[in-house]
Structure 1
Amino acid sequence: MKRAQIEEQNRYLLRRQREFRQAADVVTQSWMAFPEIEAIAVIGSVAKPLWKEVPRFSEFRRARIEVWHECGDLDLAVWIDSQHQLGELRRAGAASLRKAFEAGVGISVANHQLDVFLFEPGSDRYLGRLCSFSQCPKGKQDCLVPGCGAIPFNKRIADFQPYADLLAPVRYSTLYRRDAGLLRSALDLPNVDGQAPGVTSSL
């Protein structure tokens, strides 16, 4: 495989992470209007400097060539006082991404690529996921998981338990706090150049 192909793949993967970070900013701006939201943070691989690995792409995998990790979706943590407007929250996030795309902001992130983890303020107790379906229930296989949709648009995933370090990036990746407003842009999060943001206290 030619070096140019490897370099192009690496540029694409870095660019994709940047698009997800832009999307995090867009969605955060739209959700700041919801008074029940206490905080919003980026988690998962979008929050971290990418690392090299042998990817799933067959041509790279066969040759055992390492490239940057592929960000497949945007993981957000949202601390929320009340879940009575989850449907409105979903619609606002989806609309903000659609408007950004139509405005030519350079984001090609769809609503279904948002993976939103809901938490109880103060305790960090996991509450569920924000469903991306346009109605609740939708009549899909996912909707059959026990407890899914008991609170409209609160999605349950069978046997899921948050892993221990799920919220580890929050100390530097929190974008918004109700008591302080907008804290930073997701574009300022650590990258492969070794740049690191200022560290704030965890929630």
Structure 2
Amino acid sequence: MGQQDQVAGVEALIAQVIAREGDYSDHPADRGGATRFGITEAVARADGYTGPMRRLPIERAEAIYRRLYWSGPGFDRVAALAPRLAAELFDTGVNMGPDVATGFLQRALNALNRGARDYPDMKADGRIGPSTLAALSAFLRHRGAAGEVVLLKAVEALQGERYLTLAERRPANEAFLYGWLADRLS
């Protein structure tokens, strides 16, 4: 995937997230509190935004998504090898945090390396680095085009299990479970 394609791809991903998340929300069951375009107040404040959440500019939200949920965690580097997987990591990172999404990828890669015959296990530290990229590259080399689909399914399975656990541990999260799971189908 060329850099120009990647830029267009991440812009489309950001637009999809913003469309799904909607404008302003302050749902009483949402521990994240007030959000605009899916950006929580805590994230906006950490980014230096001091205004009311109802007025967070869409351009600011887009920049936050690009920096904190795409290039910052290294999903752009994953996209160069496996674009569909990178899109899923971005989406998962937005919902659960990029470290969690990366941890899912690392766990799946470790479990799919055929007892470390294809590539060595790595520490599931939630960071995209040389070991993760090398493992992903080796996995795709050994498994071919179908490998990305299988890896994507593994990451989605881990994500779904986490959503169910969140709802089981905190019944107020049941208000969001259907939407969390439905979003995975789009």
TM-score interval w.r.t. the shorter chain? under 0.3
Structure having the larger proportion of residues in helix: 2
Choose between structure 1 and 2 for higher RCO, CA contacts under 8 A separated by at least 6 residues.
1
TM-score (norm 1): 0.24
Higher strand share: 1
TM-score after normalising by structure 2? 0.25
